[in-house]
Amino acid sequence: MFFASQTAAFLVSCLPMPTEPTWRSDGLPAVAEALERPGKILVTGHLRPDGDALGSATALTRLLNQSGRTAFFTASKTQLGRPGFLVGDDILVTAPDRAVQKQCNIWIILDCGDLERLPEPLRPHAGDVHVINIDHHATNTRYGEVNWVEPSASCTGELVWRLAREMDWPLDRATAEALWVSLVTDTGRFAHDHVRPSSMQFAADLLDHGVRTSYIDDRLYGSLSANVMELKRRAFASFDSWFDGQAAYIALTRRDFHESRANRSDAEDFTDIPRSLDTARVALFFHEDENATRCSIRTRAPLDATLLAGHFGGGGHPRAAGCSLNVPLYDAMRAVKEAICECYGEDEIKL
């Protein structure tokens, strides 16, 4: 959806342009200093927010408003997926095409590796405001005036938690539960390689604030609608593999989503289906998305998922990455198959 309203365009043209020297700096102290500046704040994450993007954004929006700032959270309400239960009456979701009308002079962008992954209506206006970029993806392009990027963090939610401690912002249970969703979804329920002792300290503090772990687990993983179950059935039906089972994949078309009446955000963890194959060293989830084909990538050590994603301009983590290909589904699948050979070679993938 494109931002086309002439009235809204006029309001955007009135947004305050940065007139002070830019804040170009990095790290937690720089973020804390930037948040001392006056103004309204817009909080957002990447397009089609996953549990980490949505959890960290809702938590930060709550923390900012409770501290006396005026902050708005923006995301497409139709793309919140299973973590969408975090958005309650106290967190109003502003649609991205309306968010620019809020005339916020500070944007905090969370869990978003580059500006091309912002919700589309926001992209043309990111240069008109002060941008604080908080992320844990190593492939982040450092597009903000302030950049806090820590690839060693378990999730972006962990960085929001550390920011709250730095600013002396108290947590309540709702905020702690939003951060818990960030943590458990991005670490695969503490199973992924980037879990560190600091991750468990983060988790322990959230538990001290009354997080309902069983309730959240059920909302995320145990309460699938009939529509999502139908979509998952189609995903299993599409399962196949290449290279004697070393690269496994599933693929969903726009028709699959339409006929099952499910959203793309409902399929956030579907990459676990091909990854479950015991011989798979590369797991792929292809799905059609408007005018492009999205590919989610998971790898087993020592293969680096960002090598394959980067081949197509994407990025992410060493074991979990993604990219978009501006070609039809089956052309994208052929291109990725060829790229596996180029990126990993015969020494890693036995052809």
Tell which residue, 257, 247, 261, 259, has the closest CA to residue 294.
Answer: 257
Assigned domain for 26 exists: yes
Q: Is position 28 within any domain? A: yes
User: How far is the C-alpha of 62 from the C-alpha of 83, rounded, in Å?
Assistant: 16
Tell whether 144 and 246 lie within a shared domain: no
Residue 274 neighbours by CB under 8 Å, 6+ apart:
239, 241, 248, 249, 250, 280, 283, 284, 285, 298
pLDDT at 92: 64
Same structural domain for residues 216 and 114? yes
* Residue 114 counted as domain residue: yes
> 187 lies in a domain?
yes
Examine the domain organization and report whether 210 and 251 are in the same domain. Answer: no
Residues 267 and 196 in one domain: no
Same domain, 243 and 278: yes
Report the pLDDT value the prediction gives residue 8, as an integer from 0 to 100. Answer: 38
Same domain, 213 and 232: no
CA distance 290 to 211: 37
Is residue 279 located within the same domain as residue 344?
A: yes
Supply the CATH number for residue 206's domain. 3.90.1640.10
Mean pLDDT for the chain overall: 89
pTM comes to 0.84
Based on the domain organization, do 115 and 235 belong to the same domain? no
Domain-terminating residue out of 220, 244, 275:
220
The reply to whether 81 and 130 lie within a common domain is yes
CA distances from 211 to 23, 208, 298 (A): 36, 7, 29
Q: What is the pLDDT along the chain (351 residues), one digit of tens a residue?
A: 333 433 333 333 333 444 343 445 689 999 999 999 999 999 999 988 999 999 999 999 999 999 999 999 998 877 777 888 887 655 667 888 888 778 899 999 999 999 998 998 899 999 999 999 999 999 999 999 999 999 999 999 999 999 999 999 999 999 999 999 999 999 999 988 889 999 999 999 999 999 999 999 999 998 889 999 999 999 999 999 999 999 999 999 999 999 999 988 889 889 999 999 999 999 999 999 888 999 999 999 999 999 999 999 999 889 999 999 999 999 999 999 999 999 998 656 664
What CATH number has the domain bearing residue 323? 3.10.310.30
- Secondary structure of the chain as H, E, C letters: CCCCCHHHHHHHHCCCCCCCCCCCEECHHHHHHHCCCCCCEEEECCCCCCHHHHHHHHHHHHHHHHCCCCEEEECCHHHCCHHHHHCCCCCCEECHHHHHHHCCCEEEEECCCCHHHCCHHHHHHHHHCEEEEEECCCCCCCCCCEEEECCCCCCHHHHHHHHHHHHCCCCCHHHHHHHHHHHHHHCCCCCCCCCCHHHHHHHHHHHHCCCCHHHHHHHHHCCCCHHHHHHHHHHHHCCEEECCCCEEEEEECHHHHHHHCCCHHHHCCCCHHHHCCCCCCEEEEEEEECCEEEEEEEECCCCCHHHHHHHCCCEECCCEEEEEECCCHHHHHHHHHHHHHHHHHHHHCCC
The answer on 68 and 49 residing in a single domain is yes
With respect to residue 1, please indicate whether it lies within any of the assigned structural domains. Answer: no
pLDDT at 349: 62
Counting the structural domains of the chain, the total is: 2
- What is residue 307's predicted lDDT score, i.e. its pLDDT? 96
**Last residue of some domain: 220, 238, 253?**
220
**Do both 206 and 262 map to the same domain?**
no
Task: Give the separation between CA 305 and CA 171, rounded to whole angstroms.
Answer: 35
Q: What pLDDT shows up at residue 9?
A: 37
Q: What distance in Å separates the CA atoms of residue 195 and residue 179, rounded to the nearest whole number? A: 15
Backbone angles phi, psi at 49, to 5 degrees: -60, 135
- Whole-number Å distance between alpha carbons of 98 and 5: 10
Domain residues for the domain of 100 are 6-220
255 in Cβ contact with 264 (< 8 Å):
no
* Residue after which a domain boundary falls, among 165, 200, 220: 220
CA dist., res. 92 & res. 88, Å (int): 7
Tell me, yes or no, whether 206 and 304 share the same domain.
Answer: no
Q: Locate tokens 């990027």: which residue?
A: 149
106-110 β-sheet, strand order: 25-26, 146-149, 130-135, 106-110, 41-44, 71-74, 93-94
